[in-house]
Chain A
Amino acid sequence: MGTVHARSLDPLPMQGPDLGVHADDVEVIDVEPETKQEVLENKDVVVQRVHIDGLGRTKEDLLGYEIADVFTAKNLIDVMKKSHDAREKLLHLGIFRKVEVVIDTSEGEDALPNGLDVTFEVTELRRLTGSYNTMVGNNEGSMVLGLKLPNILGRAEKLTFQFSYGTKETSYGLSFFKPKPGHFDRNVSVNLYKVTGQFPWSSLRETDRGISTEFNFPIWKTNHTLKWEGVWRELGCLARTASFAVREESGHSLKSSLSHAMVIDTRNSAILPKKGILLKINQELAGYTGGDVSFLKEDFEIQLNRRLFWDSVLSASLWGGMLLPIGDKPTCIADRFYLGGPTSVRGFSMYSIGPQSEGDYLGGEAFWASGAHLYTPLPFRPGRGGFGDLFRMHFFLNAGNLCRLDYGEGPRSHLQKLAECIRWSYGAGIVLRLGNIARLELNYCVPMGVQSGDRICDGVQFGAGIRFL
Chain B
Amino acid sequence: CSLQSECKVPFIHVGNQVVSELGPIIQFTKAKGHSLSDVLDDVQRAEMKAYMELMNNMLLTAELYIQWCDETTAAEITRPRYSSPYPWPLKHILAYQKQWEVRRKMSAVGWAEKTLEQVYEDVAQCCQALSQRLGTQMYFFNRQPTELDALVFGHLFTILTTQLTSNELSDKVKTYSNLLTFVHRIEQTYFEDQGGGLSS
Do any beta carbons of A and B sit within 8 angstroms of each other in the complex? yes
Question: Taking beta carbons and an 8 Å cutoff, which residues of A are in contact with B?
Answer: 232, 236-237, 240, 242-244, 247-248, 250-254, 290-292, 358
Given contacts A247-B18, A290-B87, A290-B88, contact A252 B13 (CB under 8 A): no
Partner of A358, one of B4, B16, B93: B16
CB 8 Å contact bits of B1-14 with A (1 = contact, 0 = none): 11111000000010
Question: Taking beta carbons and an 8 Å cutoff, which residues of B are in contact with A?
Answer: 1-5, 13, 16, 18, 86-90, 93-94
Given contacts A244-B16, A244-B18, contact A251 B3 (CB under 8 A): yes
Q: Are B90 and A232 in contact (CB-based, < 8 A)?
A: yes
Residue of A nearest to B13 (CB): A244
Q: Can you list 18 A-B pairs, Cβ within 8 angstroms, ordered by A?
A: A232-B90, A232-B93, A236-B5, A244-B13, A244-B16, A244-B18, A250-B4, A250-B5, A251-B2, A252-B2, A252-B86, A253-B90, A254-B86, A254-B90, A290-B87, A291-B87, A292-B87, A292-B90
Interfacial chain B residues near A232, Cβ < 8 Å: 90, 93
B194 → A minimal CB distance (Å): 27
Interfacial chain B residues near A244, Cβ < 8 Å: 13, 16, 18
A358 → B minimal CB distance (Å): 6
B16 → A minimal CB distance (Å): 6
Q: Are B3 and A237 in contact (CB-based, < 8 A)?
A: no
Docked CA distance A232–B90 (Å): 7
Docked CA distance A240–B19 (Å): 11
Q: Are B90 and A250 in contact (CB-based, < 8 A)?
A: no
A62 → B minimal CB distance (Å): 37
Docked CA distance A369–B178 (Å): 70
Interfacial chain A residues near B88, Cβ < 8 Å: 290
Residue of B nearest to A239 (CB): B5
Interfacial chain B residues near A254, Cβ < 8 Å: 86-87, 89-90
Q: Are A252 and B3 in contact (CB-based, < 8 A)?
A: no
A453 → B minimal CB distance (Å): 16
A387 → B minimal CB distance (Å): 48
B52 → A minimal CB distance (Å): 25
Docked CA distance A236–B88 (Å): 21
Partner of B5, one of A247, A253, A291: A247
Partner of A251, one of B1, B13, B16, B18: B1
Docked CA distance A247–B8 (Å): 12
Docked CA distance A250–B18 (Å): 14
Docked CA distance A17–B1 (Å): 78
Docked CA distance A236–B6 (Å): 9
Given contacts A252-B94, A358-B16, contact A247 B3 (CB under 8 A): yes
Residue of A nearest to B94 (CB): A252
Interfacial chain A residues near B86, Cβ < 8 Å: 252, 254, 292
Q: Are A243 and B4 in contact (CB-based, < 8 A)?
A: no
Q: Are B4 and A247 in contact (CB-based, < 8 A)?
A: yes
Docked CA distance A349–B2 (Å): 29
Residue from B1, B3, B5 having most chain A Cβ neighbours under 10 A: B5
Interfacial chain A residues near B2, Cβ < 8 Å: 250-252
Docked CA distance A250–B93 (Å): 17
Residue of A nearest to B85 (CB): A292
A326 → B minimal CB distance (Å): 15
The 3 closest A-B pairs by CB, nearest first: A251-B2, A237-B5, A254-B90
Docked CA distance A237–B7 (Å): 11
Docked CA distance A247–B6 (Å): 9
A149 → B minimal CB distance (Å): 29
A403 → B minimal CB distance (Å): 24
Interfacial chain A residues near B4, Cβ < 8 Å: 247, 250
A450 → B minimal CB distance (Å): 24
Interfacial chain A residues near B5, Cβ < 8 Å: 236-237, 240, 242, 247, 250
Residue from A237, A254, A290, A292 having most chain B Cβ neighbours under 10 A: A254
Docked CA distance A358–B87 (Å): 31
Docked CA distance A253–B91 (Å): 10
Docked CA distance A466–B5 (Å): 32
Q: Are A243 and B16 in contact (CB-based, < 8 A)?
A: yes
Residue of A nearest to B97 (CB): A252
Docked CA distance A380–B1 (Å): 63
Docked CA distance A375–B16 (Å): 47
Docked CA distance A195–B16 (Å): 31
Docked CA distance A376–B5 (Å): 49
A359 → B minimal CB distance (Å): 11
Docked CA distance A68–B88 (Å): 49
